[in-house]
Amino acid sequence: MRAREQDYRTPSAPTRFHPLWDNPGSTNSLPPLRTMPPSPLALHAPTSHPFRHSSPTVHPPSSVNESRKRRNENEAPSWLHDTPVPRKRKYYTSHDKLSIILDCIYDETRWKLGDFLWALFDPNEALESTHDEKRRRAVVSAFLQGKGGVTPARIIDLWYNHPDGRVPPSSSEFNHMYSPSPEHFTEACSVRVALTSFATQVVSKQLAKEAERAVKPQHGLHASRKKKKTEGGAARLKLEWADVGSTTVSRVDTVIKRYQPLLRSLLLAVAERPNPVGSVRKVRPAETVVTNVISMLDFSRSNRANLLPTARALLHFALSAPYDLYHYNSRIGFMPAYSTVYRTLEELARQEAAAARSYGRAIGSVGHLWFDNVQNYLLQRDPRIGRVNALRIGTAATFVEAPDIPLKALDLDDKLGPSSISAIARR
């Protein structure tokens, strides 16, 4: 009896260990008393944090006189009752977790779900505890970057397709869906109105940004009669005959694919229906239609982005299109005005004349000239110079370069020989 009382005495130096607890192999050791784990409902008690538990503290005997008191030898020391015992983790189902979170939000904090989400994601909302603030930022950052299991895209999809978010046709917000007005987004109550309005406004801003980037001079949509410097210092493209031809549409389409991909994809979705696998559309290809439409939109945004509209105008001029057709097409942004087309043709003619003269002066260049009479009957009603009907007669020449023909092929001495040349000379 005395030996056991001596075992329960407190050592001189304060310690948390006891001979009975520290030596599990001792025959005098008693099994520790385990405390029951707290129930889930006890997590919400106002005296403790709903998500954090504090371990019970070990209390050694307060004094030597207490330890010397006679105790029942069949009872364990009282301080062993408070010893922390490791317990197994309890696994909750998703329904249990949801119930616990909702009880904490609505019953304990008296918050609404919107208040909780706003406080969680608001970057200006800082918690007092540095540890809690770091933890909140880490949780929010992981979710927004798609590292938290369920991605934000799946959450937005649930919101948009949720039956409680539907807007009946009789509601005043039904006509605000896909609205480009900012107030319809900020003041929207339904989630579908908010999501559709937000998407429309974001896409509208991106389309304007892409169009502004595409019409810059250095990107290749500008065609000028003279090479000029713009405000940014970039040189505009001086239009040449090589820029107008069968490759003009594909060249413009390449620029549109690079700088206006969003607008092109949206217009392609409108211009064509889904085709069966393996079928190719031959009538009115959607890519060509969309390229011409976007070129008209860019020309409407900036009258300097006129490469493809100028090519269409030159085609109309070559086909002797009526003068009134130029007015109409210029009005709708399909091509430049008639006066602009006329001045462009004059500049292109001067370029061709200079190129022909340079070929004629070059020694060793081989080419051929075709001359033909030109007769044009000008009517008084045509918008031309003159007030009476007149017949204009002139001459037109066409020069064709033949770079693959050697200069020796045009040598008469080589073809006729010395005797033939002397015979021709005697005649």
pLDDT higher than 90, residue 189: no
- Tell me what the mean pLDDT of segment 14-42 comes to: 46
Instruction: Name the strand (E) or helix (H) holding 368.
Output: strand 367-378
Pick the most confident of 31-45, 170-184, 272-286: 170-184
What percent of the chain shows pLDDT beyond 70? 73
Same domain, 376 and 353: no
Q: At CA 99, angle to CA 96 and CA 101, rounded to 5? A: 110
Count of domains observed in the chain:
4
pLDDT higher than 70, residue 21: no
d(CA 279, CA 283): 12
Pick the last residue of a domain from 362, 388, 404.
362
pLDDT at position 30, please? 45
Domain membership flag for residue 211: no
Render pLDDT for 348-400 as a digit per residue (tens, 0 to 9): 989 888 888 888 788 777 888 888 998 888 887 776 666 788 888 998 888 88
pLDDT at position 427, please? 63
Please answer whether residues 341 and 317 qualify as being in contact, where contact means their C-beta atoms are separated by less than 8 angstroms: yes
More confident residue, 21 or 154: 154
Same domain, 179 and 198: yes
pLDDT at position 281, please? 78
pLDDT at position 210, please? 95
Domain membership flag for residue 47: yes
More confident residue, 113 or 414: 113
Owning domain of residue 404: 364-427
Render pLDDT for 117-130 as a digit per residue (tens, 0 to 9): 998 898 887 887 88
Domain membership flag for residue 210: no
Pick the last residue of a domain from 48, 81, 110.
110
Nearest to 259 by CA among 310, 295, 234, 286: 295
pLDDT higher than 50, residue 17: no
How many CB atoms are closer than 10 A to CB 119? 13
pLDDT higher than 80, residue 225: no
Nearest to 22 by CA among 32, 34, 35, 37: 32
Render pLDDT for 55-108 as a digit per residue (tens, 0 to 9): 445 455 555 555 555 656 666 666 555 666 666 777 888 888 899 989 998 888
User: Which band of pLDDT confidence, cut at 50, 70 and 90, is reported for residue 22?
Assistant: very low
pLDDT higher than 50, residue 8: no
pLDDT higher than 70, residue 417: no
426 in the Ramachandran plot: left (φ > 0), alpha (ψ -120 to 50) or beta? alpha
pLDDT at position 228, please? 56
More confident residue, 40 or 262: 262
Same domain, 180 and 262: no
Please answer whether residues 50 and 75 qualify as being in contact, where contact means their C-beta atoms are separated by less than 8 angstroms: no
pLDDT at position 20, please? 45
Q: Identity (one letter) of the amino acid at 235?
A: A
Same domain, 147 and 58: no
Same domain, 180 and 128: yes
Same domain, 249 and 200: no
Q: Is 308 exposed, middle or buried (0-12, 13-18, 19+ CB in 10 A)?
A: buried
Indicate yes or no: pTM above 0.75.
no
The token duo for 170 is 């009789």
Instruction: Name the strand (E) or helix (H) holding 392.
Output: strand 390-401
Pick the last residue of a domain from 92, 110, 128.
110
Domain membership flag for residue 120: yes
- Tell me what the mean pLDDT of segment 158-178 comes to: 89
Same domain, 237 and 340: yes
Same domain, 132 and 44: no
Mean pLDDT of the chain: 79
Domain membership flag for residue 186: yes
pLDDT higher than 60, residue 201: yes
Helix spans in 112-190 (H): 113-121, 130-144, 152-161, 182-186
- Tell me what the mean pLDDT of segment 207-233 comes to: 80
Domain membership flag for residue 167: yes
Same domain, 263 and 356: yes
More confident residue, 187 or 314: 314
Render pLDDT for 140-156 as a digit per residue (tens, 0 to 9): 999 999 887 889 999 99
pLDDT higher than 70, residue 49: no
Lowest mean pLDDT among 56-65, 168-177, 273-282, 331-340: 56-65
More confident residue, 164 or 233: 164
pLDDT higher than 50, residue 52: no
Domain membership flag for residue 248: yes
Same domain, 183 and 91: no
Domain membership flag for residue 67: yes
Same domain, 105 and 135: no
Same domain, 21 and 134: no
pLDDT higher than 60, residue 346: yes
What are the DSSP calls for 136-149, one per residue? HHHHHHHHHTT-SS
pLDDT at position 279, please? 74
What percent of the chain shows pLDDT beyond 90? 29
pLDDT at position 28, please? 46
